[in-house]
Structure 1
Protein backbone atom coordinates (compact mmCIF):
# COMPACT_ATOMS: atom_id res chain seq x y z
CA UNK A 1 0.00 0.00 0.00
CA UNK A 2 1.36 3.46 -0.91
CA UNK A 3 0.15 6.95 -0.13
CA UNK A 4 1.15 10.57 0.41
CA UNK A 5 0.96 12.61 3.55
CA UNK A 6 1.96 16.03 4.78
CA UNK A 7 3.36 16.02 8.27
CA UNK A 8 5.03 18.05 10.97
CA UNK A 9 6.94 17.11 14.07
CA UNK A 10 7.38 19.58 16.92
CA UNK A 11 8.68 19.75 20.44
CA UNK A 12 5.87 19.70 22.99
CA UNK A 13 6.35 20.81 26.58
CA UNK A 14 2.77 19.96 27.62
CA UNK A 15 1.29 16.80 26.09
CA UNK A 16 -1.68 16.96 28.50
CA UNK A 17 -2.73 20.36 27.10
CA UNK A 18 -2.64 19.06 23.52
CA UNK A 19 -4.56 15.94 24.50
CA UNK A 20 -7.26 18.17 26.05
CA UNK A 21 -7.55 20.20 22.82
CA UNK A 22 -7.84 17.01 20.75
CA UNK A 23 -10.56 15.73 23.08
CA UNK A 24 -12.42 19.06 22.73
CA UNK A 25 -12.38 18.50 18.96
CA UNK A 26 -13.80 14.97 19.46
CA UNK A 27 -10.66 13.28 18.16
CA UNK A 28 -10.95 9.50 17.99
CA UNK A 29 -8.46 8.14 20.55
CA UNK A 30 -6.96 4.83 19.40
CA UNK A 31 -4.90 4.27 22.55
CA UNK A 32 -1.30 4.41 23.69
CA UNK A 33 1.16 2.35 21.70
CA UNK A 34 4.62 1.36 22.92
CA UNK A 35 6.55 1.37 19.66
CA UNK A 36 10.02 0.17 18.84
CA UNK A 37 11.08 1.52 15.44
CA UNK A 38 14.16 -0.20 14.05
CA UNK A 39 15.75 1.75 11.19
CA UNK A 40 17.84 -0.15 8.66
CA UNK A 41 20.72 0.98 6.48
CA UNK A 42 19.31 1.64 3.00
CA UNK A 43 20.66 3.54 -0.01
CA UNK A 44 17.52 5.62 -0.57
CA UNK A 45 14.93 7.04 1.83
CA UNK A 46 14.28 5.44 5.21
CA UNK A 47 13.21 1.92 6.05
CA UNK A 48 11.87 1.10 9.50
CA UNK A 49 10.18 -1.83 11.13
CA UNK A 50 7.60 -0.64 13.66
CA UNK A 51 6.81 -3.10 16.43
CA UNK A 52 4.02 -1.84 18.66
CA UNK A 53 1.09 -2.88 20.75
CA UNK A 54 -1.30 -1.18 18.27
CA UNK A 55 0.67 -0.57 15.08
CA UNK A 56 3.03 -3.04 13.39
CA UNK A 57 4.42 -2.33 9.94
CA UNK A 58 7.39 -2.21 7.63
CA UNK A 59 7.52 1.36 6.36
CA UNK A 60 9.66 2.86 3.61
CA UNK A 61 9.43 6.59 3.08
CA UNK A 62 11.09 9.50 1.34
CA UNK A 63 10.86 12.90 2.98
CA UNK A 64 13.00 15.98 2.98
CA UNK A 65 14.26 17.55 6.20
CA UNK A 66 12.66 20.92 6.84
CA UNK A 67 11.14 22.63 9.87
CA UNK A 68 7.76 23.04 8.16
CA UNK A 69 4.99 20.79 6.86
CA UNK A 70 6.72 18.30 4.59
CA UNK A 71 5.49 15.85 1.99
CA UNK A 72 6.23 12.15 2.44
CA UNK A 73 5.87 9.36 -0.07
CA UNK A 74 5.16 6.19 1.93
CA UNK A 75 5.07 2.48 1.19
CA UNK A 76 3.49 0.47 4.01
CA UNK A 77 3.43 -3.29 4.62
CA UNK A 78 1.82 -5.11 7.56
CA UNK A 79 3.90 -8.21 8.31
CA UNK A 80 2.46 -11.31 9.94
CA UNK A 81 5.60 -12.05 11.92
CA UNK A 82 7.82 -9.07 12.66
CA UNK A 83 10.55 -10.96 14.59
CA UNK A 84 11.54 -13.08 11.57
CA UNK A 85 11.32 -10.08 9.26
CA UNK A 86 13.47 -8.02 11.63
CA UNK A 87 16.14 -10.74 11.77
CA UNK A 88 16.15 -11.00 7.97
CA UNK A 89 16.44 -7.23 7.47
CA UNK A 90 19.15 -6.93 10.13
CA UNK A 91 21.19 -9.70 8.48
CA UNK A 92 20.79 -8.20 5.00
CA UNK A 93 20.99 -4.46 5.71
CA UNK A 94 22.26 -3.79 9.23
CA UNK A 95 20.55 -1.69 11.88
CA UNK A 96 21.09 2.05 11.74
CA UNK A 97 19.30 3.10 14.96
CA UNK A 98 16.41 2.07 17.23
CA UNK A 99 13.75 4.53 18.46
CA UNK A 100 11.78 3.58 21.60
CA UNK A 101 8.66 5.65 22.22
CA UNK A 102 5.27 5.70 23.87
CA UNK A 103 2.73 7.19 21.48
CA UNK A 104 -0.84 8.35 22.09
CA UNK A 105 -2.69 8.07 18.77
CA UNK A 106 -5.69 10.21 17.73
CA UNK A 107 -7.59 10.74 14.47
CA UNK A 108 -9.84 13.51 13.18
CA UNK A 109 -11.10 12.34 9.79
CA UNK A 110 -7.96 11.51 7.77
CA UNK A 111 -5.60 13.50 10.01
CA UNK A 112 -3.56 11.52 12.51
CA UNK A 113 -2.05 12.98 15.67
CA UNK A 114 0.75 11.50 17.76
CA UNK A 115 1.62 12.64 21.26
CA UNK A 116 5.03 11.05 21.81
CA UNK A 117 7.39 10.40 24.70
CA UNK A 118 10.65 9.34 23.07
CA UNK A 119 13.32 7.60 25.14
CA UNK A 120 16.37 9.85 25.38
CA UNK A 121 14.76 12.78 23.52
CA UNK A 122 11.66 14.07 25.34
CA UNK A 123 8.08 14.87 24.34
CA UNK A 124 6.77 15.72 20.89
CA UNK A 125 3.65 16.11 18.77
CA UNK A 126 3.23 14.95 15.19
CA UNK A 127 0.46 15.80 12.74
CA UNK A 128 0.01 13.66 9.63
CA UNK A 129 -2.55 14.72 7.03
CA UNK A 130 -3.02 11.50 5.05
CA UNK A 131 -4.17 10.87 1.46
CA UNK A 132 -4.34 7.10 0.95
CA UNK A 133 -6.09 7.12 -2.42
CA UNK A 134 -5.11 10.40 -4.10
CA UNK A 135 -8.53 11.99 -3.56
CA UNK A 136 -7.43 14.78 -1.19
CA UNK A 137 -4.36 16.24 -2.91
CA UNK A 138 -1.24 17.89 -1.59
CA UNK A 139 -2.71 21.41 -1.35
CA UNK A 140 -5.56 20.26 0.92
CA UNK A 141 -3.13 18.16 3.00
CA UNK A 142 -0.96 21.26 3.53
CA UNK A 143 -4.05 23.26 4.54
CA UNK A 144 -5.13 20.57 7.03
CA UNK A 145 -1.68 20.43 8.58
CA UNK A 146 -1.47 24.21 8.97
CA UNK A 147 -5.01 24.41 10.40
CA UNK A 148 -4.25 21.86 13.11
CA UNK A 149 -0.92 23.52 13.88
CA UNK A 150 -2.93 26.66 14.67
CA UNK A 151 -5.56 24.77 16.69
CA UNK A 152 -2.86 23.05 18.76
CA UNK A 153 -0.87 26.29 19.16
CA UNK A 154 2.24 24.83 17.57
CA UNK A 155 4.72 27.62 16.96
CA UNK A 156 7.18 27.74 14.08
CA UNK A 157 10.08 27.71 16.57
CA UNK A 158 8.86 24.33 17.93
CA UNK A 159 8.96 22.60 14.52
CA UNK A 160 11.67 20.05 13.86
CA UNK A 161 13.28 19.38 10.50
CA UNK A 162 14.54 15.88 11.27
CA UNK A 163 13.20 12.55 12.45
CA UNK A 164 13.63 10.95 15.87
CA UNK A 165 16.14 8.60 14.28
CA UNK A 166 18.26 11.55 13.08
CA UNK A 167 18.08 13.15 16.53
CA UNK A 168 19.23 9.92 18.20
CA UNK A 169 22.03 9.46 15.69
CA UNK A 170 23.24 12.99 16.47
CA UNK A 171 23.25 12.14 20.21
CA UNK A 172 25.27 8.96 19.82
CA UNK A 173 27.59 10.66 17.36
Structure 2
Protein backbone atom coordinates (compact mmCIF):
# COMPACT_ATOMS: atom_id res chain seq x y z
CA UNK A 1 0.00 0.00 0.00
CA UNK A 2 1.24 3.48 -0.83
CA UNK A 3 -0.16 6.99 -0.77
CA UNK A 4 -0.13 9.91 -3.14
CA UNK A 5 -1.40 13.46 -3.38
CA UNK A 6 -2.95 14.51 -6.69
CA UNK A 7 -3.99 17.77 -8.29
CA UNK A 8 -6.11 17.66 -11.44
CA UNK A 9 -6.98 20.65 -13.61
CA UNK A 10 -8.17 21.74 -17.01
CA UNK A 11 -5.19 22.31 -19.29
CA UNK A 12 -5.92 25.15 -21.72
CA UNK A 13 -2.45 24.91 -23.34
CA UNK A 14 -1.03 21.35 -23.24
CA UNK A 15 1.94 22.31 -25.45
CA UNK A 16 2.98 25.00 -22.93
CA UNK A 17 2.66 22.58 -20.00
CA UNK A 18 4.81 20.03 -21.84
CA UNK A 19 7.38 22.70 -22.66
CA UNK A 20 7.64 23.75 -19.00
CA UNK A 21 8.10 20.15 -17.87
CA UNK A 22 10.82 19.51 -20.45
CA UNK A 23 12.59 22.79 -19.56
CA UNK A 24 12.80 21.47 -15.98
CA UNK A 25 14.35 18.20 -17.18
CA UNK A 26 11.29 15.99 -16.71
CA UNK A 27 11.69 12.47 -18.05
CA UNK A 28 9.18 11.85 -20.83
CA UNK A 29 7.93 8.26 -20.63
CA UNK A 30 5.75 8.41 -23.74
CA UNK A 31 2.22 8.66 -25.11
CA UNK A 32 -0.12 6.07 -23.66
CA UNK A 33 -3.41 5.25 -25.36
CA UNK A 34 -5.56 4.21 -22.38
CA UNK A 35 -8.96 2.74 -21.69
CA UNK A 36 -9.97 2.79 -18.03
CA UNK A 37 -12.84 0.50 -17.07
CA UNK A 38 -14.42 1.26 -13.69
CA UNK A 39 -16.23 -1.49 -11.79
CA UNK A 40 -18.58 -1.28 -8.84
CA UNK A 41 -16.82 -1.68 -5.50
CA UNK A 42 -17.98 -1.76 -1.89
CA UNK A 43 -15.67 1.16 -1.16
CA UNK A 44 -13.43 3.39 -3.24
CA UNK A 45 -12.85 2.76 -6.93
CA UNK A 46 -11.89 -0.41 -8.77
CA UNK A 47 -10.29 0.30 -12.14
CA UNK A 48 -8.70 -1.77 -14.89
CA UNK A 49 -6.41 0.39 -17.05
CA UNK A 50 -5.38 -0.93 -20.42
CA UNK A 51 -2.75 1.03 -22.32
CA UNK A 52 0.33 0.60 -24.45
CA UNK A 53 2.51 1.80 -21.52
CA UNK A 54 0.45 1.31 -18.37
CA UNK A 55 -1.61 -1.81 -17.73
CA UNK A 56 -2.84 -2.01 -14.16
CA UNK A 57 -5.60 -3.26 -11.95
CA UNK A 58 -6.05 -0.83 -9.09
CA UNK A 59 -8.38 -0.45 -6.11
CA UNK A 60 -8.11 2.83 -4.25
CA UNK A 61 -9.79 5.25 -1.88
CA UNK A 62 -9.50 8.95 -2.63
CA UNK A 63 -10.10 11.63 -0.01
CA UNK A 64 -10.75 15.15 -1.29
CA UNK A 65 -9.20 18.03 0.59
CA UNK A 66 -9.71 21.28 -1.28
CA UNK A 67 -7.88 21.16 -4.61
CA UNK A 68 -5.72 18.20 -3.55
CA UNK A 69 -6.73 14.57 -3.29
CA UNK A 70 -5.05 12.07 -1.01
CA UNK A 71 -5.16 8.55 -2.37
CA UNK A 72 -4.68 5.33 -0.45
CA UNK A 73 -3.92 2.51 -2.86
CA UNK A 74 -5.24 -0.82 -1.60
CA UNK A 75 -4.39 -3.00 -4.61
CA UNK A 76 -2.00 -2.29 -7.47
CA UNK A 77 -1.19 -5.05 -9.92
CA UNK A 78 0.97 -4.27 -12.95
CA UNK A 79 0.21 -6.15 -16.15
CA UNK A 80 -2.53 -8.35 -14.69
CA UNK A 81 -3.42 -11.40 -16.73
CA UNK A 82 -6.94 -12.07 -17.97
CA UNK A 83 -7.47 -14.67 -15.23
CA UNK A 84 -6.53 -12.18 -12.50
CA UNK A 85 -8.81 -9.48 -13.95
CA UNK A 86 -11.64 -12.02 -14.16
CA UNK A 87 -11.03 -13.14 -10.58
CA UNK A 88 -11.06 -9.60 -9.16
CA UNK A 89 -13.64 -7.95 -11.47
CA UNK A 90 -15.71 -10.86 -12.73
CA UNK A 91 -19.39 -10.47 -11.97
CA UNK A 92 -19.00 -6.82 -10.98
CA UNK A 93 -21.04 -4.22 -12.80
CA UNK A 94 -19.12 -1.97 -15.21
CA UNK A 95 -19.81 1.64 -14.17
CA UNK A 96 -18.06 3.47 -17.00
CA UNK A 97 -15.19 3.51 -19.45
CA UNK A 98 -12.90 6.46 -20.10
CA UNK A 99 -10.67 6.62 -23.17
CA UNK A 100 -7.78 9.01 -23.22
CA UNK A 101 -4.44 9.89 -24.73
CA UNK A 102 -1.97 10.41 -21.89
CA UNK A 103 1.52 11.91 -22.07
CA UNK A 104 3.49 10.73 -19.03
CA UNK A 105 6.39 12.61 -17.40
CA UNK A 106 8.39 12.20 -14.17
CA UNK A 107 10.42 14.60 -12.03
CA UNK A 108 11.76 12.45 -9.19
CA UNK A 109 8.81 10.98 -7.29
CA UNK A 110 6.31 13.29 -9.01
CA UNK A 111 4.38 12.01 -12.01
CA UNK A 112 2.68 14.30 -14.50
CA UNK A 113 -0.09 13.40 -16.94
CA UNK A 114 -1.15 15.60 -19.82
CA UNK A 115 -4.42 14.00 -20.89
CA UNK A 116 -6.77 14.39 -23.81
CA UNK A 117 -10.18 12.83 -23.21
CA UNK A 118 -12.51 12.16 -26.11
CA UNK A 119 -15.20 14.84 -26.10
CA UNK A 120 -13.97 16.41 -22.84
CA UNK A 121 -10.78 18.30 -23.70
CA UNK A 122 -7.31 18.53 -22.16
CA UNK A 123 -6.38 18.03 -18.52
CA UNK A 124 -3.23 17.90 -16.44
CA UNK A 125 -2.55 15.86 -13.30
CA UNK A 126 0.25 16.25 -10.79
CA UNK A 127 0.71 13.12 -8.69
CA UNK A 128 3.28 13.21 -5.85
CA UNK A 129 3.94 9.59 -4.87
CA UNK A 130 5.29 8.16 -1.61
CA UNK A 131 5.91 4.46 -2.21
CA UNK A 132 7.44 3.62 1.16
CA UNK A 133 6.08 6.26 3.55
CA UNK A 134 9.42 8.05 3.86
CA UNK A 135 8.27 11.43 2.49
CA UNK A 136 4.99 11.99 4.30
CA UNK A 137 1.82 13.74 3.23
CA UNK A 138 3.04 17.29 3.97
CA UNK A 139 6.03 16.93 1.62
CA UNK A 140 3.75 15.53 -1.09
CA UNK A 141 1.37 18.48 -0.66
CA UNK A 142 4.29 20.93 -0.91
CA UNK A 143 5.50 19.24 -4.09
CA UNK A 144 2.04 19.46 -5.67
CA UNK A 145 1.71 23.12 -4.73
CA UNK A 146 5.19 23.89 -6.14
CA UNK A 147 4.41 22.26 -9.49
CA UNK A 148 0.94 23.81 -9.61
CA UNK A 149 2.62 27.23 -9.46
CA UNK A 150 5.36 26.23 -11.91
CA UNK A 151 2.78 25.04 -14.44
CA UNK A 152 0.72 28.20 -13.88
CA UNK A 153 -2.44 26.30 -13.02
CA UNK A 154 -5.22 28.73 -12.11
CA UNK A 155 -7.51 28.01 -9.16
CA UNK A 156 -10.59 28.17 -11.41
CA UNK A 157 -9.15 25.36 -13.57
CA UNK A 158 -8.86 22.89 -10.67
CA UNK A 159 -11.10 19.82 -10.83
CA UNK A 160 -12.26 17.77 -7.86
CA UNK A 161 -13.95 15.02 -9.87
CA UNK A 162 -12.74 11.76 -11.37
CA UNK A 163 -12.81 11.62 -15.16
CA UNK A 164 -15.86 9.33 -15.01
CA UNK A 165 -17.71 12.10 -13.14
CA UNK A 166 -16.99 14.80 -15.75
CA UNK A 167 -19.74 15.10 -18.34
CA UNK A 168 -18.82 15.19 -21.99
Scaled by the length of structure 1, what TM-score is found? 0.91
Whether 2:144 is the aligned partner of 1:145: answer yes
Residues 1-173 of structure 1 mapped to structure 2, 5 A cutoff: 2-65=1-64, 67-75=66-74, 76-81=76-81, 83-87=82-86, 91-168=90-167
Deviations 1:99-158 (A, max 9, x none): 000000000000000000011211000000000000000000000000000000001111
Scaled by the length of structure 2, what TM-score is found? 0.93
Q: Which moved more, 1:84-93 or 1:128-137?
A: 84-93
Unaligned runs of 5+ in 1: none
Could you tell me how far apart the structure 1 residues matched to 2:46 and 2:31 are?
23
Q: What SS does the aligned partner of 2:165 have?
A: helix
In the TM superposition, structure 1's runs of 4+ consecutive aligned residues that sit over 3 Å from their partners are 83-91
Q: How many residues align?
A: 167
Unaligned runs of 5+ in 2: none
* Greater fraction of residues in helix: 1
Distance 1:80 1:87, change over 3 A: closer
**Cα RMSD (Å) of the superposition?**
1.5
Q: Which moved more, 1:124-133 or 1:56-65?
A: 56-65
Report the alpha carbon displacement of residue 87 of structure 1 after superposing the two structures with TM: 4.8
Report the alpha carbon displacement of residue 90 of structure 1 after superposing the two structures with TM: 5.2
Report the alpha carbon displacement of residue 65 of structure 1 after superposing the two structures with TM: 4.0
* Greater fraction of residues in strand: 2
Residues 67 and 160 in structure 1, CA contact (< 8 A), matched pair in contact too: no
